[in-house]
Amino acid sequence: MNFELKPLSLLEAATEKCDALLVLVTDTFKPAKDGFSAFVGRAIKDGDAPTKAGKILPIYKHAMAQATRVLIVGVGDGSAKQVRTGVAAAMASAKSDKLKRLVLAFASPVLAPCVRAAVSAVADASYSYTTTKSKPEALALQSVLLATTNAAEVQADFGRAVAVVAGVELAKEWANRPANHATPTLLAKAAQGLATKGSKITCEVLGPKEVTTLGMGAFLAVAQGSEEPLRFIVLKYQGAAKSAVPTVLVGKGITFDSGGISIKPAAEMDEMKFDMSGAASVLGVFRSLAELKPAINVVGLIPSCENLINGRAVKPGDVVTSMSGQTIEILNTDAEGRLVLCDALTYAERFKPQAVVDIATLTGACVVALGSVRSGLFSPNEALASALLTAGETAQDLCWQMPLDDEYGEGLKTSFADMANVAGRAGGAVSAAKYLQRFTGKYPWAHLDIAGTAWKSGASKGATGRPVGLLVEYLLATGTATHAGK
Ligand code: BES
Ligand code: MN
Ligand code: ZN
């Protein structure tokens, strides 16, 4: 899809030929002197076009507009959140196979975060997954024009929004693919595909041999239950001098999580194909970086394998040695995410990073705690936590800080190894984070539990592409700030 931004007044936007013109009106809308603005103003005044976010007045052909349909769309107070609500509602109403060209006209000068909200709401509404359908329907919407009088002011934000859309769509694509179409090997190929000429991205893929040599005993323990070979993906984006310290992103890449011998119940087990959403978000971020080319260095690490059950599968009670040297008693084979992540977190040390952020569909407990609105954020480093929280707010890809008191880690004690991989049921999202924390002493670290936010269940089942928006926003801000201490 092609997005464009032009400096146009409402009247000028109305002269654009298109299948639908969305006129976005805020509570404080003041009509300009022209007839079209006056018409919009009158519709609001008469109460036919409420400015409340998500309310729509659909109009078929208007004498002063070249569009087939005009929709007056309420965006409330004009905040990013309400713009998103309004545009999403308008898209649900305007979406059809005849909607090929869309114009969004901001009736008042637009704030930067709203440009992003509008672009991402349009992209979300028009996305459709087709890869494993025999007769995929072509995407109807081809071009989207954003019209606002202050286009020059928001040009950079517009560029960022479009790059984030590309990243989000790549993340959705890989997360949505069924596990037999998104094996660790295929995921690695997708990563290698990002390392194109001019992208500033390089990619290295390790297999079982190299991972064994590295001593990643925890990762290997998960992978050994499947015939599908593991992959450890190392992506590097180098936009700054080689000497500039990178930020490392670590994405959980379990391409299918059956639970292993601690097997999951059958209901909704298909959704465990989404258990590589953290990995998909890392791919998505790199896709956005290739577009934006910021002057920063970023490393992406993806430990990827299946969590299955063959004759060699790891058993409850088995003790393995992680790359860090710490031993782990695997009491529950379904707590596999932390096992693959802990070795990747140790591997991350070699980059002497300014920060490491891991992204994982880690615990059902996080879904219980926060639902699907905010991702769980864990970090002992307040500066890093606050940078991520702010990035989430700006990108409208929210997270919420959770505690890391040492008492939450006490349940990980065992008589048979340095730690167990599970504690009790209570506070499960936190004890998982406490487990990971034991591998992150050498750098500032944060953990994002995206179990509730990475995909939607039910009728609109599908990946959300989160938290690509948050991460891109955070990374672009690291160009100007660093996090001291731990
Ligand atoms: N991938 C799951 C977490 C998950 C569950 C994400 C449901 C989204 C929805 C993870 O590997 C897992 O199975 N975690 C266990 C941990 C438990 C055994 C301590 C869980 O949450 O039940
Ligand atoms: Mn699991
Ligand atoms: Zn899992």
In total, the chain counts a number of residues equal to 486
Q: In angstroms, rounded to a whole number, what is the distance separating the alpha carbons of residues 108 and 79?
A: 12
- H/E segment holding residue 144: strand 143-148
Domain boundary among 121, 150, 179: 150
What confidence score (pLDDT) does residue 486 get? 45
The 10s digit of each residue's pLDDT in 289-300 is: 999 999 999 999
Alpha-carbon gap, residue 105 to 463, rounded angstroms: 29
Query: If you search the block for the tokens 């992150």, which residue do you land on?
Result: 440
Judge whether 192 lies within some domain: yes
pLDDT recorded at residue 380: 98
Atom of ligand 1 nearest to the CA of 307: 11
Q: What percent of the chain has pLDDT over 70?
A: 99
Residues 404 and 346 grouped into a single domain: yes
- Compute, in angstroms, the gap from residue 239 CA to the centroid of ligand 1: 36
Handedness of CA 437, 474, 271, 232 (dihedral sign): negative
Whether residue 129 sits in one domain with residue 76: yes
pLDDT band at 485 (very low <50, low <70, confident <90, very high): very low
Catalytic residue among 81, 95, 264, 456: 264
| 229-280 pLDDT, tens digit each | 999 999 999 999 999 999 999 999 999 999 999 999 999 999 999 999 999 9
Cα 297-291-301 angle, rounded to 5 deg: 45
Q: Give the pLDDT confidence of 397-441 residue by residue, as tens digits.
A: 999 999 999 999 999 999 999 999 999 999 999 999 999 999 999
Say yes or no: 142 and 181 in one domain.
Answer: no
In the prediction, which pLDDT does 110 show?
Answer: 87
Write down the pLDDT at residue 436.
Answer: 99
Under a CB-based contact definition with an 8 Å cutoff, are residues 64 and 14 in contact?
A: yes
Residue 183, H or E segment: none
C-beta 306 within 6 A of ligand 1: no
The pLDDT of residue 96 is 87
User: Contact, 312 vs 284, CB < 8 A?
Assistant: no
Report, in angstroms and rounded to the nearest whole number, the Rg of the chain calculated over CA atoms.
24
Q: Which residue carries 């569009």 as its tokens?
A: 67
Tell me: pLDDT of 25 over 70. yes
Paired strand residues for 106 = 24
CA of 130 to the centre of ligand 3 (A): 25
Does residue 288's CB lie within 6 angstroms of at least one atom of ligand 1? no
Measured from the Cβ of residue 111, the count of other Cβ atoms closer than 10 Å reads 18
197 is annotated as an active-site residue: no
pLDDT (average), residues 381-395:
97
Q: Whose CA is nearest to atom 22 of ligand 1?
A: 364
pLDDT band of 483, cuts 50, 70, 90: low
Q: Tens of pLDDT along 80-116?
A: 999 999 999 999 998 888 999 999 999 888 888 899 9
Indicate whether 169 and 143 sit together in one domain.
no
Element (H, E) at 73: strand 69-74
Give distance in angstroms: CA of 169 to centre of ligand 1.
Answer: 25
**Distance in angstroms (rounded) separating the CA atoms of residues 422 and 332:** 7
- One DSSP character per residue, 231-290 reads EEEEEEEE-S-TTSPPEEEEE-EEEEE--TTSPPPSTTGGGGGGGGHHHHHHHHHHHHHH
**Domain with 118 in it: what CATH number?**
3.40.220.10
**Three-state DSSP class for residue 304:** strand
What does the block give as tokens for 158? 């517009």
In the 8-state DSSP scheme, what is residue 204?
E
User: Global pTM?
Assistant: 0.97
Range of the domain at 45: 2-150
Catalytic residue among 84, 116, 172, 338: 338
Is residue 55 part of the annotated active site? The answer reads: no
Residue 123: the pLDDT is 97
Q: What is the pLDDT of residues 162-184, one digit of tens each?
A: 999 999 999 999 999 999 999 99
- Total number of domains in the chain: 2
Q: Do 117 and 227 belong together in one domain?
A: no
Same structural domain, 298 and 375: yes
Mean pLDDT of the chain: 96
In 26-151, where does DSSP find H-type helix?
35-45, 80-94, 112-126
Question: Sheet containing 327-330: which strands, arranged edge to edge?
Answer: 318-321, 327-330, 419-420
Residue 212 and residue 65 in one domain: no
Q: How confident is the model at residue 387 (pLDDT cuts 50, 70, 90)?
A: very high
Element (H, E) at 292: helix 277-292
d(CA 319, CA 331): 9
Show which of 150, 179, 212 is a domain's final residue. 150
CA–CA separation, 158 and 150 (whole Å): 12
* pLDDT exceeds cutoff 80 at 75: yes
Same domain, 110 and 245: no
Question: Over 70: is that where the pLDDT of 484 sits?
Answer: no
Which of 90, 119, 150 terminates a domain? The answer is 150
Cα–Cα distance measured from residue 458 to residue 343, given in angstroms and rounded to the nearest whole number: 34
